[in-house]
Structure 1
Amino acid sequence: MTADREYVHVLEYLYEKSLVLHDPSLWEPVLGFYFLDALAHIDYTVGLIAYGYHSPKTMMAGEYLRWRIDEEKKGDRAKFPGFVNWLKEHHPDRFSRIPSLWQMVYDREDKASYRSFRVVLDPESRTPLAAHHFTRMVDEFFVTDFIKSMYREEGSLAALFREYCAAN
């Protein structure tokens, strides 16, 4: 574990977040899947830095992430990366308001990705991403307007996702 526990604090920060004022069962299912998926990648990456690979916490997160590989290929979930790029091209203002992790990982022109389930912004770097970057990523997923935009019936991001799926 890191001596200053900065990454442990990031995990505590994530785990203290709550959706109690929201109903994720009413979100557009694909957006909800990728919302939790991004948080799982953050959790795994930070847990790996904080606790190491052989920690049960890290191993459990890795098991979930292995399962989701097949899940992301099902139905409209497979359209999500294309949707993010479509947003960038056709709705740049809306693209700029989605969480930066989604922008970076799914933008075809960005070198960021999930590598071995870890969040990797620069594949050339061997230095772990600073803890404050993960805290910022977590915050972006819990912005109230963003969460509201994922609701299936009235959410603006959900409406754009349906528009994209209808055309693709």
Structure 2
Amino acid sequence: MMMEKNEYARELDYLYSKSLVLESISDFHPVLWFHWMDAIAHIDYTLSIAGFSYDSPRSIMAGEYMRWRVDEEKKEERPLFKPFINWLRETRPETFKKLPMIWQGIYSDSDPAQYRSFRIVLDPAQTKPIPALTFRSMIDDLFAKDLLKSIYNGSSLAKLFESFKKNLTM
């Protein structure tokens, strides 16, 4: 007997209906690409747990992958991403407002959103689950053409990151 999919499993299907086939991911800025993919991985994990169960093979595999990413996030220039997002919020609010909702929430010091046990938590004081359609908005944000164009090497966002990084070392 086949079980009917819940609303979170449907959003997971929506995530995997997306494609980067028209993009040249090897040309993406490495730090922006890492954090783009990291956001996708956290959405995948959060939806997997809500759509299936914590003990499903899908959730277990996603959890193992997320554990690996914890160490990866500490490498090279990746730790500069959170300060970069906060710098954008302070110095370039118009650019900050164009960032994906998940980046604005998770990495901004002024927002309570965070990753907890790899799950996305928008408000730690809230006990209700995140509405499934919120994940659709996050997915749409991450796959928006303007965002994808902005994470290529040499793009405006990549140039801002490089400028931010350079100013840290001066």
Scaled to the shorter chain, the TM-score interval is over 0.9
Q: Which residue does the alignment assign to 1:106?
A: 107
Separation in structure 1 between the aligned mates of residue 39 and residue 120 of structure 2, nearest angstrom: 9
State the one-letter code of the partner of 1:35.
W
Give deviations 1:73-94, integer Å, cap 9, x for gaps.
1111010000000000111000
Whether 1:136 and 2:137 are equivalent positions in the alignment is yes
Does structure 1 residue 159 correspond to structure 2 residue 149? no
User: 1:31: which partner in 2?
Assistant: 32
Cα-Cα RMSD:
1.1
Report the TM-score when normalising by structure 2. Answer: 0.95
How far apart, CA to CA, are the structure 2 residues paired with 1:25 and 1:89? 30
Write out aligned runs for 1:13-32 (5 A).
13-32=14-33
* Offset, 1:127: 1.2
Counterpart-to-counterpart distance in 2, 1:62 and 1:158:
29
Q: CA deviation at 1:100?
A: 0.7
Cα deviation, residue 61, structure 1: 0.7
Q: How far apart in 2 are the matches of 1:167 and 1:60?
A: 39
Q: Which 4+ stretches in 1 moved above 3 angstroms?
A: none
- Post-superposition shift, 1:24? 1.0
* Alignment correspondent of 1:93: 94
CA deviations over 1:37-85 (Å, ceiling 9, x no partner): 0000001001101111100101111111101111111111010000000
Q: Which runs of 5+ in 1 are unaligned?
A: none
Letter in 2 for 1:125: Q
Q: Distance in 2 between matches of 1:98 and 1:8?
A: 26
Verify the 8 A CA contact 2:45 2:119 in the aligned structure 1: yes
Q: Which runs of 5+ in 2 are unaligned?
A: none
The Cα shift of 1:3 comes to 6.1
Counting aligned pairs with the same residue, the percent is 48
SS in 2 for 1:96: helix
**d(CA) in 2 for partners of 1:108 and 1:102?**
11
Please give the alpha-carbon distance, in whole angstroms, between the structure 1 residues aligned to 2:121 and 2:98.
Answer: 21
Residue 61 of structure 2 is matched in structure 1 by 60
- What SS does the aligned partner of 2:77 have? helix
Report the secondary structure of 2:98's partner residue. Answer: coil
1:4 Cα deviation from its structure 2 partner: 5.8
**Alignment CA distance shift 1:94-1:83 (3 Å):** same
**What's the TM-score once normalised by structure 1's chain length?**
0.96
- Aligned AA for 1:38? A
For residues 118-157 of structure 1, give each alpha carbon's deviation from its aligned partner in whole angstroms, at most 9, with x where no partner exists.
000011112110000000000000110110011112x111
For these two proteins, the number of residue pairs brought into alignment is 166
Structure 2 letter corresponding to 1:69? V
Whole-angstrom CA distance in 2 between matches of 1:72 and 1:41: 13
